[in-house]
Amino acid sequence: MGIYINKEDKTYTLTTNNSMYQIKVDKYGILEHTYYGEKMDYMDMSYSVKCEGASFSPTFAGAERWEDSYNHKAQELSCAGIGDFRLTAVGVRNTDGSFGCEPRFVSYEIKEGKYSLNGLPAFYGDNAQTLIVTLKDKVYDIYFHLYYGVFEEYDLITRSLIIENKTEGKINLEKAMTLTLDLPASKTYDMLYFHGRHTRERMMERATIKHSQLTVESMRGASSHMENPFVVVCDKNANEEYGNTWGIGLVYSGNFKISAEKNLQEKTRIVAGINPENFNYEVLPNDSFVCPEVAMIYSNSGFAQMSNNFHKAIRNNLCRGQYKNAQRPVLINNWEGTYFNFNADKLVAMAKDAKELGVELFVMDDGWFGKRDDDHSGLGDWTPNEKKLQGTLSSLAKRINDLDMKFGIWFEPECISEDSDLYRAHPDYAFKMPSRVPQTSRNQYVLDFSRSEVVDNIYNQLVNVLDNANISYVKWDFNRHITDLYSVALPAERQGEVYHRYILGLYSLLERITTKYPNILFESCSGGGGRFDMGMLHYMPQVWTSDNSDAIDRLKIQYGTSFAYPVSTMGAHVSTCPNHQNARITPLKTRGNVAYFGTYGLELDVTKMTSEEKEEIKRQIKEFKKYYELIQRGDYYRLISPFTPEESLHCVWETVKPDGTEALVCAVRYETDACTAPEYARVKGLIKDKWYRINGSEEKYLGSALMNTGFKLDYIFDIYPSKLYHITLA
């Protein structure tokens, strides 16, 4: 059905394969949120959100009952300043300086296909429907256009908000968040969120939503290593395969905020969108402000179903370009192999050895341009250093191509070194507060991408490089967060727009570059996983998951990432030991098995490997390609969590063909113990009444047995051992 309108009771019901989302225009013209949960036959669900009395809340003008208060309403668009004392999404400073708005229903429209957003990334596709509901403030000519996208097959509902000023004067948005979600049931929920730090991103944590606010946010100018713009709200007893689960993700790469709280009626409200701290946006007459998209998936069967739907939606309807579903080349990156200490001959020698192992793409990382022998200079001068490269960039690319390998390159377009020609010519291009000495991080500043001339300068430099060498891959890095926020292009009263305008400038640059070079594979990076979000995935189909390439640390990093993001988006490499981030020594086989469940590549100097190690890499590349489609396109299941060491010594995950005929399980033991008790892995997604073999053994297992009892994990006497279990029909 998709979208169903009942004009009699003024309900708007969005349905997917397994979920239902309903809103209703009440007798006052207020748009109520009445239901979001398991799909069922149609009925008006507004009975479940009625308030029968709660004290100390104002009654809005024209109300018939004293209980009719904005503070009690389950509102689809919550506004500050008019009596709703809970979490609110929108705050408007009107033309007369008053603060507040009271949206009332005006009209609706249904369109086939998915809406798009001007200047912002969003899910797309003809396999969707769009509902647009327009509201207007009771007093001023301020319009609120709520956009809903419905993807039935993924149980995905997207939402955005466009705020339009039709008054004769300017208004200021002091808060412009996209989502208000009132869960109607009077119960207690948990929230899963994914915190961290550099080299330790997306560590899963679970907390109870209480009366005080539970908030996940970033104020760093990027979504950040420290928090991720994705959360899961769920029943207290929900797990991978049981319970009500709502996944909520923001399609945005800048400052964000997701907050939840229980209100005085013991009901839960969630808001999500642009972080309102240091945000104040001027909207002129006949102009609009577009809020970033929020993506929501409900599951009545726990986390796994929710995750797999996000994975499919992101792969098919968020990522774009020829690589979104194409097999990615196996690459080697020279960074941890050489750092800044290389020349063309060294890189070609690495590429020759890598080619013999089956590697298809050689990536030259930081240090190839300008004056760049360390991280103190050169950023902003995207001109090849021909002395270091022993010739032109084009000649180096040809030397790599002559080995029958593709050639890739690293950029950090958003930052600038003080010691650079660009900074000497245009010091105002960098963020810098008046009368203050700017702060450096990694000896660099951030360029003011809120200014089109700065974006144009960098665009032209990148085009000059990409047009003059055969480049098949670009790693796009961002190695510091924003401080000293100030744009010389805006007056003092509009500095609260800069954070968001920066992101709009970034997105405009990404749109131009990726459109001009559709055959280049772009990979996002921000000191590793510091900007792993749905916004960046709209432009680049993979992200360097973390600068930490240690296989054991990666268990938690990739496990947490998998709650929203598919395996195909996770950059994962085999690196050297002792590991450069934590000095751990891990078997090469384990490093490979973990990297399989990502894009798989190498991050080391292959010329220094032993013949035995090279043979193992050869084997891994063949094995990875053998299982590529199963790993990248299969349904993904988290079987045993690395966050529960008291329950198991293993981390185990699985990918299975959607038809249940084949599965691949990866088990890694991350702790050692003497006289270990046997451990079993219960797989998912098989056919109950079919027989299977594991790794081609003679022994057969019924699908229902493998899913209910599981199979015994082999005990391997080694440090950090791992094993793949290939499950096929007998």
Q: Is 522 left (phi over 0), alpha (psi -120 to 50) or beta?
A: beta
Pairing of strands 650-656, 635-640: antiparallel
Cis bond before residue 578 (omega within 30° of 0): yes
- The closest of 348, 372, 313, 9 to 154, measured between CA atoms, is 313
Say how many C-beta atoms besides its own lie within 10 A of residue 454's C-beta.
23
Helices vs strands, H then E, count in the chain: 13, 39
CB 129 within 8 A of CB 150: yes
Distance of CA 296 to the CA centre of its chain: 13
d(CA 87, CA 213): 9
> Of the candidates 142, 68, 66, which has an alpha carbon nearest to the alpha carbon of residue 102?
142
Q: Which of 144, 101, 108, 106 is nearest to 129 (CA)?
A: 108
Of 570, 631, 576, give the one whose Cα is nearest residue 602. Answer: 576
Question: In angstroms, how far is CA 449 from the centroid of its own chain?
Answer: 21
Which stretches of 448-490 are assigned E, i.e. beta strand?
A: 473-476
Instruction: Give Cβ neighbours of residue 528 (< 8 Å, ≥ 6 apart).
Output: 198, 199, 201, 225, 544, 545, 546, 547, 548
613 among known catalytic residues:
yes
Single-letter amino acid code for the residue at 665: V
User: How many beta carbons lie within 10 A of that of residue 240, not counting itself?
Assistant: 18
Comparing CA positions, the residue from 496, 547, 540 lying closest to residue 526 is 547
Q: How far apart are the first and last CA of the chain?
A: 40
Sequence-distant (6+) residues with CB within 8 A of 252 are 120, 121, 223, 229, 273, 274, 292, 293, 503, 533, 534, 535
- 616: tokens are 């193992």
CA–CA distance, 462 with 95 (Å, rounded to integer): 43
Q: Cα 335 from chain centroid?
A: 24
Among residues 235, 533, 603, 654, the one annotated as catalytic is 533
Are 642 and 556 in contact by the 8 Å Cβ rule? The answer is: yes
User: Given 217, 484, 613, 623, which residue is catalytic?
Assistant: 613
Nearest-angstrom CA–CA distance, 179 and 250: 10
Residues recognised as catalytic: 533, 613
